[in-house]
Amino acid sequence: MYRNEKQLEHGYERYIDWVNRVIHNGQAGIIIIVSQINRSLKLYDIITVVGMDTAIVDVVSIVTILQDRKIGVHEGKF
């Protein structure tokens, strides 16, 4: 890296670090939101997530990353 360059980090990396700490500390955190969305999808054909329309893609991406890094599990798959 050059002297005047700054290393950029994706915003979700900090979130994934936080989720990792939450899991190791035995807390629930935002995982509850993902669980509630998942539960709603099983109960209803269509759900509306108010105020999170732009965040839902991030939630899906984060869940996928957590699963790929073997930090979390979705639908019992690792």
Q: Give which of 10, 11, 31 is closest to 19, Cα–Cα.
A: 31
Query: Helix or strand or coil: residue 32?
Result: helix
Q: What is the mean pLDDT of each run of 10 residues along the chain (78 residues)?
A: 63 69 59 63 64 66 78 60
Residue-level pLDDT at 78: 44
Residue-level pLDDT at 17: 74
